[in-house]
Amino acid sequence: MNAPSVPIDLQRAARLAILVSALGYFVDIYDMVIFSVVRAQSLDALGVPAAERMSAGVRLLNMQMAGMLVGGVLWGILGDKRGRLSVLFGSIFLYSAANFANAFVQTMEQYALLRLLAGIGLAGELGAGITLVSELMSRESRGYGTTLVATNGVLGAIAAALVGSRMDWRTAYLVGGCLGFALLCMRMTVHEPRLFTALQEQQVSRGNFLRLLKPGPTARRYLSLVLAGVPIWFVIGVLITFAPEFGRELGMKELPSTAQAVLAGNVGTVLGDLASGLFSQLTQSRKRSVALFLALGALFTGVFFTLGGSSLWFFYTCCAALGFSAGYMAVLVTIAAEQFGTNLRATAATTVPNLIRGSTVLLTSGLQLATPVLGLRGSALCVGGLSLLLAFIALRGIDETFARDLDFLEE
């Protein structure tokens, strides 16, 4: 059977959406990761004692992630009520302005407020981009489009590691803000997908976030998606962000730098996003891809804590391997976009990754509570092991959505 033909203008719109979404996610990840890279340098410049930097870093990271929780709901509802493009414009303006202002902070209170605002802005990019690309591409090939978005986007983390390790921390924030404002000009050329414009003519509830939490099959699918992604941020938000502290715990004489750990981890994540997306297309199964990468995450976490401290080179290799195992976010968000109807699609696809990112607050809080009793290594193993166990269980509650027709509504 011949593949269905796709109109030329639709092909052009899909290609443009992929390009703009990929560049947007590039800036999004740069601005999200740059804090982790310049954390120690910026806290030192603000006069935070070395002994208090981990707790201060956790506080700022939690402010950013709390902002992403708020922003995820805000942008998700807006995406279904006002359109996918409203999110792409509004979110990038807010996080670009906040990161630009980060270059001028003088106190911890200012820093915390701006990380909160940046988090709210950062929350909208991935979900809106994946939703836009998914609705514009054919159902058989949309996985390739979302893979390109994620793969190119995570390159922003590599850029953050390179810029943050070579420039002053204030300059690194200025770079992120300027990149975001430049991208706003490109956004002017993108149009809403037909599925959303057709929805505007119908009398149907749109962007009802509480509908996703109503007890029943919908809530099961939604919460299962969130739990399936928590191990991603255990790797990124805990193991890699606090690489120097884990290096010390593993008895390393030469401690790893956060910038190099982020660089190694995100090189792995780029490869992981590419591999997970291609694997899901080749096997015609999103769930198999997620299951494989969860298994790799369990394996590489064990290697990290048993052999990671043997040398600086091997520590960074473990970070790259862990990053590879965490490279299934695009597949998971694609599942979220395919899992729900057009009237709730942006809400689901935007809130799911941000609830996953926001789980960092619970992960770091659990780490801090358990460390006095179990030590940093023991508490990290417990927190990470629990997140992986829940993710495997949650995967059973998600429907297989490969090549699903997206022209449907949630009643």
Residue 314 belongs to a domain with what CATH number? Answer: 1.20.1250.20
Are 265 and 297 a contacting pair, CB within 8 Å? no
pLDDT digit string, tens, across residues 327-360: 999 899 999 999 998 889 989 999 999 899 888 8
Structure-model confidence comparison of residues 362 and 151, the more confident one? 362
Whether the per-residue pLDDT at 123 is higher than 70: the answer is yes
**pLDDT of 303 over the 90 cut:** yes
pLDDT band at 366 (very low <50, low <70, confident <90, very high): very high
pLDDT at 189: 67
Between 167 and 154, the higher pLDDT residue = 167
Q: What is the pLDDT of residue 234?
A: 95
The answer to the question of residue 164 being in a domain is: yes
> Which range has the worst mean pLDDT, 107-121, 188-202, 260-274?
188-202
Residue 199 lies in a domain: no
One-letter amino acid at 317 equals: T
pLDDT tens for each residue of 236-254: 989 998 899 999 999 999 9
411 belongs to a structural domain? no
Is residue 360 a part of any domain in this protein?
yes
Q: Please name which of 195, 219, 220 lies closest in space to residue 206, comparing C-alpha atoms.
A: 195
Question: Does some domain include residue 205?
Answer: no
Q: With 60 as the cut, is the pLDDT of residue 198 above it?
A: yes
Q: Is 407 part of any domain?
A: no
**From the CB of residue 185, how many other CB atoms can be counted at a distance below 10 Å?**
8
Residue 68 in domain: yes
Question: What's this model's pTM, rounded to 2 decimal places?
Answer: 0.84
Number of domains in the chain: 1
- Residue 137: C-alpha distances to residues 7, 66, 130, 267, 352 (Å): 11, 33, 11, 27, 21
- pLDDT higher than threshold 70 for residue 9: no
Lowest mean pLDDT among 98-112, 122-136, 182-196, 273-287: 182-196
Do the Cβ atoms of 136 and 19 come closer than 8 Å?
Answer: no
Note the Cα 147 to chain centre separation in Å.
13
Q: Please check whether residue 352 is in contact with residue 332, taking contact to mean a CB–CB distance below 8 angstroms.
A: yes
State yes or no: pLDDT of 390 exceeds 90: yes
Give me the percent of the chain exceeding a pLDDT of 70: 96
Q: Which domain holds residue 30?
A: 10-188+211-395
Please check whether residue 187 is in contact with residue 88, taking contact to mean a CB–CB distance below 8 angstroms.
yes
- Confidence at residue 1, expressed as pLDDT on a 0 to 100 scale: 38
Q: What is the pLDDT of residue 52?
A: 87
Q: Is the pLDDT of residue 10 over 50?
A: yes
* Cα 207 to chain centroid, rounded: 21
Contact residues for 145 (Cβ-Cβ < 8 A; gap 6+):
14, 17, 18, 133, 134, 136, 137
Burial (CB < 10 A; 0-12, 13-18, 19+), residue 108, is: middle
261 in any annotated domain: yes
